[in-house]
Amino acid sequence: QVQLVESGGGLVQAGGSLRLSCAASGRTFSRYAMGWFRQAPGMEREFVTAIGWSGASTSYADSVKGRFTISRDNAKNTVYLQMNRLKPEDTAVYYCAASRTIAITAPRYDYWGQGTQVTVSS
């Protein structure tokens, strides 16, 4: 069982930056690939980025490539999402999730956090 808690969301102007954190409970964190998804009002949850258990493998949605960076610290049981050059269309609730293997689709993830709101004003 893995419990995930996101933090770091907030309100930022377009062009600004935020760093989200996702703290995981349990001693098996390093065995899981981790992903970030987001969901805007009235929209389906969409993949943002994912990272393999060791941090060596990453994947990004085209919409965030070059602006967002995922990283993890297995010693701290934490995965991070650094978001730069934010745009109003990045506004959404951001969720972190854990999967046995790196994946870009939500059904592949077994555990989810409660989400953190990111709002980008124009």
pLDDT at 40: 97
Residues β-bridged to residue 10: 118
Q: How far is the C-alpha of 53 from the C-alpha of 55, rounded, in Å?
A: 6
- The letter for the amino acid at 95 is Y
| Percent of the chain topping pLDDT 90 | 95
pLDDT at 28: 87
pLDDT at 100: 94
pLDDT at 1: 83
The DSSP symbol for 20 reads E
pLDDT at 65: 98
Spans of the chain, pLDDT less than 70? none
